[in-house]
Amino acid sequence: MANDECFAFEEELNVARSVLFQLPTSLLSVSLSLEGVDLEAWESGSMPYLEARQRLIEVAKILACIEPWSGSMGRAWDWYCKYRIAPLGGLTADELVSGGRNEEVMLYILHVSTGGWS
């Protein structure tokens, strides 16, 4: 990675940390453990797993978009884990992101936020 790309990635990682740390501690621990990530490693910033970091950044972006609608980060997490998105095959955002379809989730959120049907 070039220096600019590394800086951009670290900036995204810092944003993800700030969003994820708004979750109740139990939800944060669960979300990180589902990724196979140690909470202490995440807090210290020493988590070496690039794919897990990137996925958590994507999760944080989605949660940040949903939080204003849901009223709290905990409710946003609930939506992320439980709400079945009919136009995307009835899968949850969590299932879609796990399958590498995070862009589709973001496009769906954008569509709904601009007045489109859910």
Tell which residue, 17, 19, 117, 33, has the closest CA to residue 74: 19
Question: Average pLDDT over the chain, rounded to whole?
Answer: 75
Query: Distance from CA of residue 22 to its chain's centroid?
Result: 12
In angstroms, rounded to a whole number, what is the distance separating the alpha carbons of residues 116 and 111?
5
Mean pLDDT computed over 53-58: 77
Model confidence band, residue 32 (pLDDT cutoffs 50, 70, 90): low
pLDDT at 3: 38
| Percent with pLDDT over 70 in the chain | 54
Residue 75 clears pLDDT 70, i.e. is over it: yes
Mean pLDDT computed over 9-34: 61
Contact (Cβ atoms closer than 8 angstroms) between residue 64 and residue 19: yes
| Percent with pLDDT over 90 in the chain | 21
pLDDT at 69: 84
Handedness of CA 61, 67, 70, 73 (dihedral sign): positive
Taking each helix axis from N to C end, the angle separating 3-20 and 50-70, rounded to the nearest 10 degrees, works out to 50
Pairing of strands 91-92, 84-85: antiparallel
pLDDT at 67: 86
| pTM beyond 0.85, yes or no | no
